[in-house]
């Protein structure tokens, strides 16, 4: 592990290109540096505070850091599933100054003999707007996936096309899971939501 006087002691260097000496892998705190002629194209740096990975998609002369793919899995209790109509459940916390863009989502539910009833389509959305009325980020999941017979199923959904959305509507805003129409009721099953995403 090395440091570089131009990048400061908080930037740690783990790997360099042999032929050029350019940084391939490193880590930082707070903001990825944009110092010219230090980073290889495709260099990967990690924010030690958040764990987020950034990749240099610019040039050696002008690094431009874009988020690498991040994944997270959130458990949903029966109480979460029943309440998420009025109180959407947080999936990914807001990242100041960044928009969270979903790459994929899966919904893994284990239903019991005490079935859920009611409800409406389920989706991951920007912000905690009740009743599934936030800006959708994924295709919806039918209510019958939640209210079905006892057993475990997995449902995968692709991201919806986001077109010409005002940055203020998605930047610095977290992702939540909610459902439309009405609350689910009665069930004792559990679920988990797995999200793969990147930041822009």
Tokens at 100, concatenated:
């969270």
One domain, residues 136 and 86: yes
| CA–CA dist 149, 129 (Å, integer) | 29
Residue identified by tokens 């979903």 is: 102
| CA–CA dist 62, 26 (Å, integer) | 17
Tokens at 121, concatenated:
């389509």
The pLDDT of residue 35 is 95
120-137 pLDDT tens trace: 999 999 999 999 999 999
| CA–CA dist 180, 143 (Å, integer) | 9
pTM: 0.80
One domain, residues 61 and 92: no
One domain, residues 118 and 58: no
The pLDDT of residue 24 is 97
Low-confidence ranges of the chain (pLDDT < 70): none
Its domain, for residue 63, covers 2-67
Tokens at 127, concatenated:
């912000």
> What CATH number is attached to the domain comprising 107?
2.60.120
133-175 pLDDT tens trace: 999 999 999 999 999 999 999 999 999 988 888 889 899 999 9
């Amino acid at each position: 592990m090395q440091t570089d006087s131009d990048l400061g002691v908080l930037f740690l260097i783990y790997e360099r290109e042999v032929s050029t000496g350019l940084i391939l892998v490193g880590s930082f705190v707070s903001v990825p540096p944009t110092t010219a002629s230090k980073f290889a194209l495709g260099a990967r740096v990690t924010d030690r505070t958040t764990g987020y990975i950034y990749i240099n998609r610019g040039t050696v002369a002008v690094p431009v850091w874009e988020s690498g793919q991040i994944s997270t899995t959130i458990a949903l209790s029966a109480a979460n599933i029943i309440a998420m109509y009025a109180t959407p459940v947080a999936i990914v916390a807001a990242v100041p100054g960044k928009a969270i863009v979903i790459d994929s989502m899966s919904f893994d539910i284990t239903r019991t003999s005490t079935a859920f009833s009611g409800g409406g389509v389920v989706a991951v959305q920007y912000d905690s707007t009740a009743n599934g009325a936030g800006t959708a980020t994924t295709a919806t999941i039918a209510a019958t996936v939640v209210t079905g017979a006892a057993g475990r199923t997995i449902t995968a959904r692709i991201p919806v096309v986001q077109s010409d959305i005002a940055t203020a509507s998605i930047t610095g805003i977290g992702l939540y899971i909610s459902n439309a129409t009405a609350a689910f009721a009665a069930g004792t099953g559990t679920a988990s939501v797995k999200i793969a995403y990147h930041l822009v």
